[in-house]
Each structure stands twice: as C-alpha cells, then as structure tokens.
Structure 1
Amino acid sequence: MQQTIIDNYKQAAAQANQQAVKYKKLANTYSLLRLGIFGLMVFAIYLTIAQDNFTIMAVSFALLLAAFAWLVARQGSYERQRDYYLDLQRINLNEIDSLQNNANLYNNGQHYSNEKHIYSSDLDIFGNASLFHLINRAATSTGNDKLADWLNAPADKPVILSRQQAVKEIAANNEWKVNTQTKLLFAIKEDTDQMKRLFVYLSTPLKLPGEKWLTSYIKISPYLLSFALLAGIFLYPVFKLVVIAIVIFNLLILISKGSYILRGGAIADKIGSVLANYAIVFNAIESHQWQSQRCVDLNEKLRTNQTSKNIRELSKLINKLGYSLIMIVGFLLNVFFLWALKQILQIEKWKRSNHHNFEEAFDVIAEFEALISLAVPAINYPDWVYPVIADTEGYTVKAKNIAHPLIPGKRVDNDYDLQDAFKIDIITGSNMAGKSTFLRTVGINTVLALAGSTVCAAAMEVSVITIVSYMRIKDSLNESTSTFKAELDRLQMLLAAVEHQHRVFFLIDEMLRGTNSMDKYLGSKAVIEQLIAKKGVGMVATHDLQIARLEDKYPDYVRNYYFDIQVIDGEMLFDYKMKHGECKTFNASLLLKQIGINVGEE
C-alpha cells in the first residue's frame, strides 16, 4: 500500500517537472521579445532625431509600450506557472522524503519545545524527529502556531469531531490539499513578522494633504496633456509650451509629495507579490465546494468579506505602483498620469474601505493549514484510523494494535483497554523491553486523537482527557536544580493537576530516580496511594516489583501489566508485547555482562 502511495507521488513530481520545463522555455522566449521591444524604442528615438519628426516617437512609443506591457504580462504569467510547477514538484518530493526518510521541508517546531509543558517534551511533540516534524505542512507562521496550539492541549469533543470531519474531507481531496500547499509554499521563506507589518500597514492611514483636489486633478491630467500634445503637433506649435508647463507642474507635484509616496510605497512594494499569492490561496478555498461544517463555516467567513477579490485588488494597485520604477516607462506614466501618486491615493482609498476583518481572514488560512497537517497521516498512512471520542463518566482509553507513529519500519503494536473506569496500571519489566515506549505510544496517539487526526492503531476509543507526563526528568545547572529536586517539582505539578484539572491521565516512567532504592520505593508507593485517594487515573512504569504488590491492597483500582524477555543461550530476545501480571525476568546483569562487567551474587 505504502509503495503505491510513493509511486503516485513520484508520478506527480515527474509530471510537475515536465510542466515547469515547458513554462520556463516560454518565459525565456518572451524575455527575448521584451529585449527586442526595447531595441525598437531606441530605434524610434533615433528616427525621431534623424527625421526631426516628433510624431514618429509619439506613435511608436504608444504602440511599443502597449506591446511591451502585453509581453510583460505574458512573461509574468509563464514565470508564475513555472514557479507553481516547481513548487508542486517540491511538495510531492517532500511527501516521498517523509515516507522514506522521515524528512520534512517544513518547520519541525523546535521553537515550541518546552520542557516544563505537561507532556510535549516527554512525548516528542516538537523538534527533530517529532510528531510536529512528521505531520506539519503549514508554511505560514500563523499556521505553525495554530497546529502547535492544537497539539499542546486537547480540544472539546464537539471541536474534535468537527475537525475530524474536516480532516476526512481534506484527506479525500488530496489533489486540492497538494495544490493548496503548493500555492502557500512561498510563505515558508517569508519573515514571520511580515503579516504583523501588513496588518499595521492596512490599519494606518497615510493622511496625505490636499488629497481631495489631487484626486480630481489626477483624473483630468492625462486628458489635458494629451490634448496639448496633439494640438502642439497638428494645430498650434505654441501648445508645445503648454505641454512643457503641464509636465513641469506634474513633476513638481510628484516631488512635493515624494515623502508620502516613498513612505506608502516602501511597505507596499514588499508585500505586493505576497498579497497576490495570498489572493490565489483565498480563491482556492473560496472556490471549493465544501461539505464538512467546519470547512463550510471557514469558507463563509471569506465569502462574506469577499476576501480573495479585495486582496487581489490591493495587490494589483501595489503592482501598478511598481510600474513607476521602470526607467522610461515609469517616467512617461508619471508625467502623463502622476502614476505613483495616483496608486498611493487608490491604495489609501482601498485601506479605508477594506482593512477590517483581514486578521480573521488570514486566520482562516492558518486553520486550513493545521487541518491539512492533521490530514497527512490519513493520506500517507491509510491503515491508521479515526478514533471514537467517548463520552463516558469514567476514563476511556481503549486501543487495538496501537503502535508508536514515530518508530520507522515495522512497528510492534499492543492492545490496551481502559473502558469507562478509574484505574492505575502498574507496568513492570526489564530494561529496553518496551515500558517507556508503550507509555509514549498511548500518550502521543492520544494527542493526535484529541487534536482531530487519525491514530496509529487498528481501532481506538478515547475520552477527552488531559495527558500529564513524568518521564524525562532533567537537572538544570542554570536554575541550580538537581535531578531529585526536578522530580519533586514535577510530582508536585502532577498531583496538583490531578486534583484541580479536568480528567488528568498521567504517564509516569520510573519515579524518584534521583534517590536511594528504599526511599524510591517508599516514595513511589506513597505517591501512587495519594493518586488513588485523589481518584487519579494513568499508568506507572517501574522496575520495582514491590510496587506491583499494590494490586493486592487495591484490587479494584490497581492493575498489573508487564513486558518481559526471553533468554535463549545467553541471548536476550524482546517481543515488546504487553501482558497481564507482573514481570519475573530482569536483564540488568545480562546487559552489564555484555559490556564486560560480571555481577556476582551476594
């Protein structure tokens, strides 16, 4: 199955490359034609001087400028098509790389890592080779933030179910997903603060003095100049002086308003092409016929505000402003139309009418990126399943053939059954037998389930719970914290969470490692008994067999499971399968013997 998925991505990447080569050739051809137009303009100037006939230049420039503008538009279109297919190729190759090498061109979320978070550090949610690294397909900074928020805390059941339906719809429309990723890939290189600057720009008026009369004059200026120019050529030579006077007056206006043009254009110039790209993305969302309620609601926000249309208009205005920077073309546009000032005034008019609700619109893109990311497992790993979100009085964490999604190759799966109950499961076992991995397996799949994605299991049912982990406890030289002190801090946090937070499900891996064995046992036993008193629910992995005796004291609350090994001819064999009961076989002495240390009996 997975090889078929990889082959499909390879075929799509090859087709995208063929299209990219095609449009690259067309763009190069039109670039040469543009150079030819420039040469004809130079020749027209030569003829005008040689023939002393201004009509030649006037007519030639009018025709050549029109031809030049058409060529620019065509070349730009072909370059955009080329870039689109190159990005489409990258997107498909990235999926192949993800499936084969666990690689990803998108952000791995390292900057979201927080060792003090209740579970993200212990469960490898962020950073290299993390869950975020596996599924993230968000190019924008806001999309990354949204996905990180969803993985950092469980959603409510209605929200989870609405996300599930949206993810199912996106997963069933992989072509739309890949195309939308392609259209957003430009944002992966953008400055993370760019959108903040855009929102500030849209909400800050320029306050240009004399805006009203300038707007009126700009409308009639090209007609006045054209009339004076034609009259000077065909009727009265004295009108040539009028032409010069109008040109000088127009240039003086531009010079006097130069600071406003520069101020307004400085930011606009940087975001024009970016806005055009976002307009394409908004249109991709708006034009799709959505069925799931969450996608319908998100789409309605855009359609109500005509987001793609409005952003496309602003992008065009900003791009038109850029024409004024094109040497001879810019000079003529400014002389005839006061072009730069005209576009600045149009942009300000647009800002006054349309700057509202734009942050909400860009949040729609962020949410779609997060949903696309949650759909990745459903598409790339079709054997994963959508979990059932239970609504039980007790805790429910039930799974069939559940495995760790970040383990490459053949994964060993296990079953787990906590059905509408309040239990603490003690898991004993040898070193490297799979205790810690199983705790992380349950934890990371629960995070996926409560975010709205599929899980790495044949079936899973889980109630809305808050995972709290106690696994990778580290000392801190910066905070002058010993390992034992760090463990005490984590225990205090865990106990407080169980008492005050809703439905905490804890994952504890080897408590109190930073103290002697007797204190460790007595302390661990006391902690578990306090958790029982608080009706805490979760799993405790330990090497200490005495902890397993708690099942005798609390038979209705404590259950024992274990991971064991087989030793055949001195070789340890791990099956990584969890079984009922307590472990009887340990392997520390065998492991020490393998590195040359013989452990004698007392």
Structure 2
Amino acid sequence: MNNDILNDYAQRSAAAKNEADKFKKLANTYSFLRLGIFALVIAAVAAGVVYDTFTIIAVSVVILMLAFAWLVARQGKFERERDYYNDLAKINDNEADSIRTYGNLYDSGARFINEKHYYTADLDIFGKASLFQLVNRAATTPGNDKLAAWLSAPATKELILQRQEAVKELSAKKNWKLDLQARLLFAANADVNQLKRLFNYLHVPLNLPGEKTLKRYTIIAPYLLSALIIAAIFVPLVKPLAVLLALINMGIVFSKASYIKQTDLVAGKIGDTLSRYAVAFKKAEDEQWQSAYSNNLSQQLREAHTSARINELSLLINKLNYHLNIIVGVILNVFFVWDIKQIIAIEQWKRDNVHNFETSFEVLAEFEALISIAGLHINYPEWAIPQIADGDGYTLTANKIAHPLIAPGKRIANDYALNDAFKADIITGSNMAGKSTFLRTMGINTVLALCGAPVCAESMQVSVINIISYMRIKDSLNESTSTFKAELDRLQMLLGAVATEPKVFFLIDEMLRGTNSVDKYLGSKAVIEQLISKRAVGMVATHDLQIAKLEEKYPDYVRNFYFDIQVVNGEMLFDYKLKHGECKTFNASLLLKQIGIEIRIES
C-alpha cells in the first residue's frame, strides 16, 4: 500500500472540508442578512404608515428588494461552492477507501451482469466486488455505459495505444481529474433514465400551433401593453383596453397550457442540472491536451461550443421555471406572454442543437471512462502499462501477474509465457490450489489490457484476443435448464465463437461437471481435441490427470502446468505458484478427513 498516495488524498480531503466549512459559514451569514432585510421591509412599511407617506414605502421597498435579490444570489453562489468542496472531499475519501478496502461510492455495474456474455460473468467484471466496482469513476449514465462497453469487448490495437497515452496524461493531471469528478458527482444519484428522457424529448418537436405568429406577438406584446398603461395615465378611457390586453395575454398562455406542461414535465426539472453539466463541459473544453485521444475529444466539444449551448438551454429552462412563483409568473405572462416565449425559444434551441447535444454527452462519457482507468494508474503506480503484440500467433506473456481484486497482502503473483504461438495449456492441481484463480487472473488482466488500462503485473504483453470463458456453469429453474444442458450450451457458444470470432482465447475450468466421470473424461478430451483441430488457443483447468496425457499426443500444441500442495504433519500448505508439468499431489481425501469423512481404499 502506497502511504504517500493515501496521505495525498487525506490532505486533499482535509483542505476541501475546510473550504466547505468556510463557504457554509458565509452562506449562513447571508441567510441571516436576508432575514434582516425582511425585517427592514416591515419597518419601512410601518414608517410609511406612521408618517402617512407612500414615498418612504416605495423607495425603501425597491432598495431593500434589490438588496434582498443580491443577497439571494450571493448565498446561492456560496452554497454551490460549499456543495462543490463537500463533493471534492467525498471524491478524495473515496479514492482512499478504494485503495484500502476496495470500497466505491460509484455504481457497481450490476445492471450490466449478463450470464450469457462471453466472459463478464465468469471473470467478475460487473456487480458487487467486481472489476467495474474497483475501476468505475463515471457518475453519468452514458459514462457508466461507456466504461461497461470498454470492459465487455476488446478494442483495436490503435485505439488501445491511444487510450494508454491518454491514461498516462490524465494521471499527470490529478487535480483536473478530481475536479471533474467532483463537478459530476451530482449525477451519480440521478435517475438512470433522466438523460435518456431528455434526449427523447429533444428529438420530438412540440408542434406548437401558430408558432411563428406567436413568436412575433411575444416580441411586440410588452411594448404594446406598456404603451397602453402609460396612455391610460393620461387618458382614463384607455384603461379598459390595457386591462383587456392583459387578459388576452393571459388567455393566450392558458390556451397553450398543455404545450407548456408538456415542456415542463421533462425540461422543467433539469434546468439546474444542465447548468452543472455546462460547468463540467467547460472544464473539458478549456484543458490543454497532448495525447491525440483526449485532444480530439476536447476539440469536438470546443467546435460544438458545447458548454455555452448547454448553459443557454439551462437558462431558457430556468426562465420557464419563473412561473413556479405565482405572482412573478402572472406579471411575466401579462406583460411578456412569458411561458409561450420560453417554450418557443426552447423549441428553436432543440432544432439548432439536438444532434450536437447527444454527441457531446458521448464525449463526456469517454472522458469519464478514461478517468476511471486512469485512476488505476494513479492509485497503483506499480501496475504495468501492457504492450500490445502483433503477429499471426497468440501472445499472452506476463511477469508477476496477480488478481487485481485480491488484496495486495494476499494476492500471489505468477509468471506465464505464450509468445506468438498456438498452444492449449492443461492446468492440473489440487482442490483450492489456485487453478481457477489463475485463469481468472489471466482473464481479468487481459480485459484491462485490451481496454487501454494498466494491469496488475510487473510487465505484460498481449495480442488483441477475444476471451471466451467456461467457468461458472449454473442450472436455471426459470429456463428449465439442468447443469449439464447449461454446460452443453456454453460449449456450443465456445465452439461457435472459435469458428466465427478472430483470435479466440478460451478459459475452461473443469469441463462437464454435470455428468459421470467416464463421460466427463471422454467428452472433455473430445472437446479439447476439436479445439486443437481448429487451432484454438487457451487454458483448461482440470482435476483429471488423464487430460494431461494429451501432451504426449500433441507435443507441439499441448503444454502441461500445475498447482500443487505440500503436506507437512498432516497440514496442507499452498504456495499458489504455477509450475511446469503434471500435478502429482491431490488433497480431496485430506479435505474430507478434516470434516470427519474417512475414505477407505477397497481391495
């Protein structure tokens, strides 16, 4: 555990909390000042009544209301700063918790669990205590979706290399990374479908009847009513006309109430949220990047003027929300036909920006996914950036590779080498000796490598390969599927992938457990030989020593490895180290004996 990294997060968190406390005190002070303004308004009204003069009331109320509005604005600013620094403290505390306990305040990716995926269920990619939970720093729904996609399929070599460069650069921009995370943390608790609903709304036109005519009228309406009011002061006969126009304006607003409500249902609830997104987009636009990947993302946002346009939509929506104050809403609609004016402006914004809007959130999602994998490089600087190998054969070579989800004090590192070759490796060994963990270690680190992330190893070289796993085969009562049928389905998927997908690398853990020992051996042997005939590459973990004899039949293709145990004074000692050859020591009888079951050897 790197104490320097933990100390840095602790210092950052403490500094952020101090700033949050400072702005909290300022916000409270201005809140009390607002109460003081309210008391002064009452005093001014009382003074006006006592001295029987309206001038005192009018002048005092105007001045004090302006002061009140200024105090509200200042208090709002301080509250936003307070919330930002509180979130920044949470972000830093979360990084420390992740290193210490693998905890994470971000989503675990449980909604991405798919038992039928090629490898994600077997390799613990999604869900509780998963790779996604370790890595994820995406707050937005598109960001979570993007990271899940990266972990669900290998990228091309070119894309992997670009992401690696971006990760290195982001790791050197720790302040920027943590700042953006804090700016976006609000989205972690938002409805998963919030942005989806907004995207759908922006794609559907409101089709407001008479929009062009209404737009022209909203421009002249305030001037027309103001002129009538001024004229009424000098010509009392005009007063009914001013009242009539005010009623007409309100009538126009009421006649379009269904359209206003339609806009308000979706857009009206997200104005402040969009202003927060605008700040986050601004951070991505303004930062200077050297890596081609990040620079391209930032350039897309700059060219689309993303932050400015999203802020514009936020302001339009917030203006529409003025009608939530009944008094203010009536005045604005009487003079400006306000609600109509705003929904027309929002519709125009939709027509001008809808396509760029979704694209911009995809770019932000890319940044969140990059931030997530860059976090590994920051928190675990000893992890390697893997080399992506070329060649017609398969390369999967690693020095001191270990499982990233096992605590550093408990994980055991191994070496493994497959250099531009075609091999099927048979791994035998005792129960609990480490076969399954080793397969998952190779698989999960390969998933990290092929999305552009660092790996839990001293060094690693890997081809762009497609992992297919056969490990946790389960029956299904809902689908009326037995364990054996589930195994057959998985084998069919594996063999189909070998025939259709490029460079399949299989990870098989104890094949055909759902049948008798004779069929298990014969079936496993037949499957492996079929894989060999198709020049498939991968690893098979098994207890069946007869499978290891395939090395004699295919000496140029099959290699044997094993995990063993040492029995000292009846106690089993595991070293969890991969060795060449066949396993000669097994422990099932010893394990059974420990729980009180004696095995008698029949003569």
| TM band (smaller chain) | over 0.9
The residue identity in structure 2 corresponding to 1:87 is D
Matches of 2:493 and 2:237, distance apart in 1: 90
Shifted more, 458-467 versus 560-569: the winner is 560-569
Matches of 1:489 and 1:114, distance apart in 2: 15
Shift of 1:535: 0.8
Going from structure 1 to structure 2, the CA distance change for 1:188 and 1:14 (only over 3 Å counts) comes to: same
Structure 2 residue 465 is matched with structure 1 residue 465: yes
SS, match of residue 124 in structure 2: coil
Going from structure 1 to structure 2, the CA distance change for 1:433 and 1:60 (only over 3 Å counts) comes to: same
Matches of 2:59 and 2:217, distance apart in 1: 26
Shift of 1:392: 1.1
Structure 2 residue 360 is matched with structure 1 residue 368: no
Shift of 1:328: 4.0
Matches of 2:521 and 2:259, distance apart in 1: 74
Shifted more, 152-161 versus 448-457: the winner is 152-161
Matches of 2:74 and 2:352, distance apart in 1: 31
Corresponding residue for 1:9?
9
Shift of 1:60: 4.4
Corresponding residue for 1:387?
386
Structure 2 residue 344 is matched with structure 1 residue 340: no
The residue identity in structure 1 corresponding to 2:169 is E
SS, match of residue 125 in structure 2: coil
Going from structure 1 to structure 2, the CA distance change for 1:499 and 1:262 (only over 3 Å counts) comes to: closer
Shift of 1:579: 0.8
Matches of 1:542 and 1:212, distance apart in 2: 74
SS, match of residue 439 in structure 1: helix
Could you report, residue by residue, the CA deviation over 1:329-378 in whole angstroms, capped at 9, with x for unpaired residues? 44444444443333333323322322232111111111111111111211
Corresponding residue for 1:429?
429
Corresponding residue for 1:418?
418
The residue identity in structure 1 corresponding to 2:160 is I
Matches of 1:468 and 1:266, distance apart in 2: 45
Matches of 1:257 and 1:560, distance apart in 2: 77
Structure 2 residue 550 is matched with structure 1 residue 541: no
Shift of 1:391: 0.7
Matches of 2:565 and 2:324, distance apart in 1: 74
Shift of 1:146: 1.1
The residue identity in structure 2 corresponding to 1:541 is A
Matches of 1:264 and 1:589, distance apart in 2: 71
SS, match of residue 508 in structure 1: strand
Shift of 1:533: 1.1
Structure 2 residue 481 is matched with structure 1 residue 481: yes
Could you report, residue by residue, the CA deviation over 1:57-90 in whole angstroms, capped at 9, with x for unpaired residues? 5544543443333222211111111111111111
For structure 1, the residue ranges without an aligned partner over 5 or more in a row are none
TM-score, normalised to structure 1, is 0.94
Structure 2 residue 435 is matched with structure 1 residue 440: no
Going from structure 1 to structure 2, the CA distance change for 1:213 and 1:251 (only over 3 Å counts) comes to: same
Going from structure 1 to structure 2, the CA distance change for 1:523 and 1:246 (only over 3 Å counts) comes to: closer
The residue identity in structure 1 corresponding to 2:318 is N
Going from structure 1 to structure 2, the CA distance change for 1:136 and 1:590 (only over 3 Å counts) comes to: same
Corresponding residue for 1:63?
63
SS, match of residue 363 in structure 2: helix
Corresponding residue for 1:292?
291
Shift of 1:249: 4.4
Matches of 2:4 and 2:211, distance apart in 1: 62
Going from structure 1 to structure 2, the CA distance change for 1:564 and 1:304 (only over 3 Å counts) comes to: same
Corresponding residue for 2:281?
282
Going from structure 1 to structure 2, the CA distance change for 1:221 and 1:524 (only over 3 Å counts) comes to: closer
Going from structure 1 to structure 2, the CA distance change for 1:163 and 1:435 (only over 3 Å counts) comes to: same
Matches of 1:380 and 1:255, distance apart in 2: 58
Corresponding residue for 1:126?
126
Could you report, residue by residue, the CA deviation over 1:529-580 in whole angstroms, capped at 9, with x for unpaired residues? 1111111111111111121111111111111111111111111111111111
The residue identity in structure 1 corresponding to 2:78 is Y
SS, match of residue 418 in structure 2: strand
Shifted more, 498-507 versus 45-54: the winner is 45-54
Matches of 1:416 and 1:160, distance apart in 2: 22
The residue identity in structure 2 corresponding to 1:576 is Y
Shift of 1:124: 0.7
Could you report, residue by residue, the CA deviation over 1:203-244 in whole angstroms, capped at 9, with x for unpaired residues? 3333434444544444454455556666777x6777766665
Shift of 1:172: 1.7
Could you report, residue by residue, the CA deviation over 1:506-527 in whole angstroms, capped at 9, with x for unpaired residues? 1111112122222222222222
Structure 2 residue 151 is matched with structure 1 residue 151: yes
The residue identity in structure 2 corresponding to 1:525 is K
The residue identity in structure 2 corresponding to 1:147 is L
Shift of 1:479: 2.0
Corresponding residue for 1:72?
72
Shifted more, 519-528 versus 39-48: the winner is 39-48
Could you report, residue by residue, the CA deviation over 1:20-54 in whole angstroms, capped at 9, with x for unpaired residues? 11111211222233334444455556666777766
- Within 5 Å, give how 1:86-97 maps onto structure 2: 86-97=86-97
Shift of 1:406: 0.6
Corresponding residue for 2:136?
136
Corresponding residue for 2:355?
356
Shift of 1:315: 0.6
Shifted more, 100-109 versus 42-51: the winner is 42-51
TM-score, normalised to structure 2, is 0.94
The residue identity in structure 1 corresponding to 2:164 is Q
Matches of 2:215 and 2:46, distance apart in 1: 37
Matches of 2:328 and 2:383, distance apart in 1: 59
Corresponding residue for 2:321?
322
Going from structure 1 to structure 2, the CA distance change for 1:353 and 1:531 (only over 3 Å counts) comes to: closer
Could you report, residue by residue, the CA deviation over 1:274-312 in whole angstroms, capped at 9, with x for unpaired residues? 111111111111011111111111112211111110010
Matches of 1:352 and 1:59, distance apart in 2: 45
The residue identity in structure 1 corresponding to 2:488 is L
Going from structure 1 to structure 2, the CA distance change for 1:320 and 1:47 (only over 3 Å counts) comes to: farther
Going from structure 1 to structure 2, the CA distance change for 1:260 and 1:575 (only over 3 Å counts) comes to: same
The residue identity in structure 1 corresponding to 2:475 is D
Corresponding residue for 2:399?
400
Matches of 1:448 and 1:95, distance apart in 2: 19
Shift of 1:428: 1.0
- Within 5 Å, give how 1:110-125 maps onto structure 2: 110-125=110-125
Going from structure 1 to structure 2, the CA distance change for 1:565 and 1:199 (only over 3 Å counts) comes to: same
Residue identity over aligned pairs, in percent, reads 64
Going from structure 1 to structure 2, the CA distance change for 1:216 and 1:64 (only over 3 Å counts) comes to: farther
Corresponding residue for 2:31?
31
Shift of 1:56: 5.3
The residue identity in structure 1 corresponding to 2:499 is E
Shifted more, 9-18 versus 482-491: the winner is 482-491
